[in-house]
Amino acid sequence: MGRERDREVRVASERRRGAAAGPRTLAEELRTRSDEELAALLRARSDLLSPVPGDLTALATRAGTRASVVRALERLDRFALQTAEALAVAADPCSYETLLGLMAGDDRAEPPAPHVVRELPRAVRTLRAQALVWGGDDRLHLVRTAREVLAPPPPGATGTSPTGLGPTVAEAAAGMSPGRFQEIITTAGLPTTHDSVTAVESLTALFRDRTRMAALLAEAPPESGEILARLVWGPPYGTVPAQPSPPVRWLTARGLLLPTAPGTVVLPREVALHLRGGRAHRTPEPVPPAVAVAAEHRPRIVDATAAGQSLTALGTVEDLLKAWENGGPAVLRAGGLSVRDLKRAAITVDTDEPTAAFWLELAYAAGLLASDGEADERFAPTPAYDEWLRSPAEARWATLVAAWLPATRTAGPVGGVDPKGRALSALGPGLDRTPAPAVRHRVLHLLAALPEGAAPDHSAVLARLRWEHGGAAHAQPSAGGVQAQPGTGGAHGQAGVGGAAMSAGPGAGGRSASGTAGARTRGAAFADRAGAARVSGTGGMTGGVGDVPAPPPDDLRSRLARWMLKEAELLGITGRGALSAHGRALLAPAAPQTAADGFGKLPGTEQEAPHATAERGQVGGRPSTSGAAGPRARGAASDDRASTGRASADRVFGAGGATGAAGDTVPVPPPQPPFSDSGARAAAVFAAAPTEPPSDGEAVVAGARAAAVLAPLLPPPLDHILLQADLTAVAPGPLERPLAQMLGVLAEVESKGGATVYRFTPGSVRRALDAGQTAADLHAFLARHSRTPVPQPLSYLIDDVARKHGHLRVGAAFAYVRCDDEALLAEILADRRSSGLRLRRLAPTVLAAQTTPDLMLERLREMGFAPAAESTEGDVLVARADAHRTPPRAAPAPVQSGPPVPDATLLGAAVKAIRAGDRAATAVTRPTTPAAAGAPASPPGSGGLPRTTSAETLATMQAAALTSSAVWIGYVNADGAASQRVIAPVRVEGGFVTAYDHTADEVRTFPLHRITGVAELADDPT
């Protein structure tokens, strides 16, 4: 208790010192965080725990590595990523006011967009919680690795900036001669300087001064505006001919365009920001795109449709595996199913090949299908398939869904090629896509947030997923009718700027597609005016900002979401595109969620989760009259957004964010501190509690929960059929398992649907006789299960086939045929169709063949005979449906993309270990010699291990044990590894010290001869 109190006092002291002076490094800021905030960081960035860092300095170092930073950036939503990109182009450190200007514009003539102002603190808190940003509100630091990843590349380097900005004046002028740069500042109206550094600072100050910059641009030729407008949103590089036009010369003479290589110029970052009105992004996207409703259905219709499709799914899987019971297709040498066999499987279940691949992969994931492992390896059902068949329909459906939810294997890539150019086949390697479980889970949450019976617009779902993972938005037309580039401005290539005029892209003014008000600075207005005065057809310009909208990016998550929506419909999780009642039951019961991000209020705080108010239809903190957008009771009216399908957040905020769709004024939130301890703690908890996909065990529980909801929706299995005079039978619904199995052997399925139609044929009746049934058994079966009298034609068919069945016997000699009827054997020998069997008579009642018994049976049946196979003892072989099964096989385990998300126990232990290690690494010691008495104490890590004599070590240990104080020691273990520890000695005897080890958080025994030295800890200044 005392040790915990000491730690709390020390942390509080560090918080006070950090608040007064601000942290100098990320490690110092991590020391001011609570255990809950550290646990949230470790949960959000689980790669930091592999292995557990020794102290907070090691944690900060690992959090700044490139691999970890890139992983963290990939998990950010688009607005948080845009905020990080803005910090990457700002000076380091950057104040919050400067960051707000980069995100919302710094033009004082127009107020910033209210939704940007409202959401920016949330984005910065997210970056703080992820340890990507540290420092006080007036000194925000983006970690160095993130700045290197997101900042514009230096001149001459490949790649483009996400913001479309170029290098600064200082970076672009690094290789320019001092004399040439003096000419530039003189032409720009600046006094000459004595050195290049002062000249660069002078020109940078001019470009950052709005008044002087506007006056400079007012003197420019009209054609120069077209060139600047073409480069302002990126890419910032352009090509110039050997003899540039006068407008280009005017710009280069004043440094508005700086040369980076022969024939290449760049728009400096300061000039671009002036023309953009101070904005780093053309289209800030603080609000996620709403999931639009494409259609609405009655919930009962949705549930009934989904329940019917779930029965179809069970029948499809059963039909596929039944076709492979007596020997499935061969396994390719590289693994998987051949294209020809996949086509046959698709024909078996009357579907296309991608859908057939999905059913096969689903059966494989559920452990119902595997390779048999024989020398001639083939696919076959597993023993688990027999148990699955004996289960009720809802339990069989739950098994399939529980395998689908956490599976990383997906059938979508089947038919494509891997990075090495090898074909991807069904049931083969290379089909694991690690984000698949998370995408399925997230899409289900988005569907569950819609009103019951509402089917989403698939493109809106894909847009939402791209926003949540920082993906680029697809281009939208601007207010002026010119196609706007994405907010990242990431067009590739260079814009030609050699002509007198060029096809101008959208200027910096106006309003963007999302309704964000453009900063109408004088420089931006100049760019618009110059762009409107372009002379088309001159200059032969290529590249730059195009007039054709870019298609939506087809990234992996988008493809997975498209496949998932189709698969959910095939499985009966959705019906008519809307999530069914049993589909909702798959999601763990929790607090009401919104389509914003799957969260309601942030745990432990009254703050609303990011964007939850926007998704609920609240404008400016005032709830709309349409009600919540979360899951509702059946029959509840949908909100305005869902009923009309308006998906854009701009519909809520209106053009420029000043008014709503119905004219409601959106009040600008009052000024408030952007950060606070409670806000940072809430952000840390939010980052620590993402909606993770379910584990295998959780998926089983979810499947059972959904099966309980599905069971009442399924029709009860029937024990009867309706026989008709045309040799058909009608099953008016799902049949009981024994009846369905027997009927599947005795008849052929002619059509499926709400009722299944079976047709009796000579071949199907023969199949039943091959399975060991007699004519009397078949007559009794039909009489017992038919609600109508057995038709006479069907009775005659059974008797006729039974009379001929088994008259011929086929065995293995290599193969032979025997029959008591010599005339029948003579007929077979005389038939031309038997020539391929190369038959010869061995005896009056026996024929021998040079072929296998299986082929002999097949050919004789094709000739119209009804042979039966027999064993070596002469008994009839009975062909049963479950003749071939693989050995017991485990279902394939999902492939993890990284370390698993740690649980609360691991997080608590890791935080405790890191705290203890940090205490040992930062403990302050007292001077150990009189000569050093006047020297200040230093952290142990700064001077290596302590060194004392054996007598001094023993005396200090005994004194610490008497006073119950902690000491700092250097210790070398049996392997020779040295470490620093903070211990509290309890007992010193027999050459050993028994002490509480703060580093390991346990009581341990240390041999005195392995202790290199000891030092007393200084008193806590608090």
Question: Is the predicted pLDDT of residue 480 greater than 70, yes or no?
Answer: no
Cβ atoms 594, 615 nearer than 8 A: yes
Write the pLDDT tens digit of every residue in 356-403.
999 999 999 999 999 988 888 899 999 999 899 989 999 999 999 999
Distances in Å between the Cα of 388 and the Cα atoms of 325, 378, 405, 637, 737 are 14, 21, 18, 41, 11
Peptide bond into 235 cis (omega under 30): yes
> How sure is the predictor about 36, in pLDDT bands with cuts at 50, 70 and 90?
very high
- 910 vs 956: CA distance, rounded Å: 31
DSSP-assigned letter for residue 1007? E
Mean pLDDT across the stretch 5-32? 67
**CB hemisphere CA count around 538 (13 angstroms):** 11
Confidence band of 404 (pLDDT split at 50, 70, 90): very high
Q: In the prediction, which pLDDT does 20 show?
A: 52
According to the per-residue pLDDT averaged within each range, which of 108-112, 261-265, 404-408 is highest?
404-408
Structure-model confidence comparison of residues 120 and 696, the more confident one = 120
Query: What beta strand segments (E) does 524-599 contain?
Result: 574-575, 578-579
| Interatomic CA distance for residues 343 and 858, integer angstroms | 23
Residue 975: the pLDDT is 83
Q: Using DSSP bridges, classify how beta strands 846-849 and 992-997 pair: parallel, antiparallel or unpaired.
A: unpaired
pLDDT value, residue 549: 43
Which whole number is the average pLDDT over 102-115? Answer: 80
**Residue recorded with tokens 């950060």:** 675
Better pLDDT: 445 or 9:
445
One-letter amino acid for residue 26 of the chain:
L
> How would DSSP label each residue in 232-268?
TTS--EEE--SS--HHHHHHHHTTSSEEEETTEEE--
Which pLDDT band, with edges at 50, 70 and 90, does 54 fall under?
A: confident
**What residue spans of 831-872 are helical by DSSP H?**
853-862
- Share of residues in the chain with pLDDT > 90 (%): 36
**What mean pLDDT do residues 72-88 have?**
93
Instruction: Select from 30, 35, 9 the least CA-distant residue to 908.
Output: 35
pLDDT band at 427 (very low <50, low <70, confident <90, very high): very high
> In the predicted model, is pLDDT for residue 451 greater than 90?
yes
**Is residue 239 pLDDT above 60, yes or no?**
yes
Confidence of residue 159 (pLDDT cuts 50, 70, 90): low
Identify which of 362-366, 485-489, 670-674 has the greatest average pLDDT: 362-366
C-alpha 57/C-alpha 16 separation (Å) is: 20
* Tokens 């992820």 sit on residue: 130
Locus of tokens 């006011």: 97
Say whether pLDDT at 697 is over 70: yes
Does 108 have pLDDT greater than 80? no
Lowest-confidence segment of 179-193, 503-517, 997-1011 by average pLDDT: 503-517
pLDDT at site 10: 54
Give the pLDDT confidence of 742-752 residue by residue, as tens digits. 898 899 988 88
**Tell me: the pLDDT tens digits for 998-1014?**
767 778 899 998 998 88
- Provide the mean pLDDT of the chain: 77
Q: How many H helices and E strands in the chain?
A: 39, 26
| Predicted TM-score of the model (pTM) | 0.71
pLDDT computed for residue 666 by the predictor: 30
As a whole number of angstroms, the distance between CA 646 and CA 885 comes to 53
Given this model, what pLDDT does residue 577 score?
94
Residues recorded for the chain: 1022
- Whether residue 510 has pLDDT greater than 70: no
Identify the residue with better confidence: 973 or 894: 973
pLDDT: which is higher, 905 or 338: 338
Average pLDDT over residues 318-335: 88
Strand partners, 237: 266
Please give the pLDDT value at position 829.
84
pLDDT (0 to 100) of residue 1018 = 62
Q: Coil, strand or helix: which one is 432?
A: strand
What confidence score (pLDDT) does residue 16 get?
54
Q: What is the distance between the alpha carbons of residues 804 and 807, in angstroms, rounded to a whole number? A: 6
The pLDDT score that the predictor gives to residue 937 is 40
814-852 pLDDT, tens digit each? 787 888 888 888 888 888 888 778 787 878 888 888 788
pLDDT bracket for residue 532 (50, 70, 90):
very low
- For residue 408, pLDDT over 50 is answered with yes
Q: What three-state secondary structure class fits 858?
A: helix
Strand-pairing partners, residue 381, are 369
Apex CA 491: angle with CA 488 and CA 495, to 5°?
130
3-state SS string over 899-964? CCCCCHHHHHHHHHHHHHHHHHHHCCECCCCHHHCCCCCCCHHHCCCCCCCHHHHHHHHHHHHHHC
Residue 310: exposure state from Cβ atoms within 10 A (0-12, 13-18, ≥19): buried
| Separation between Cα atoms, residue 571 and residue 401, nearest integer Å | 8
Higher-scoring residue by pLDDT: 679, 922: 922
Residue 73: band (very low, low, confident or very high) from pLDDT cuts 50, 70, 90? very high
DSSP state, residue 838: T
Mean pLDDT is highest, among 5-19, 190-204, 467-481, for 190-204
Task: Read off the pLDDT of residues 770-823 as tens digits, 9 standing for 90 and up.
Answer: 888 889 999 999 999 999 999 999 999 999 998 888 777 676 667 878 888 888
Q: Out of 142-156, 554-568, 595-609, 689-703, which region has the weakest mean confidence (pLDDT)?
A: 595-609
How much is the pLDDT for 990? 87
Strand partners, 1002: 997
- Least-confidence region, from 240-254, 473-487, 768-782: 473-487
Residues 52-75 have a mean pLDDT of 90
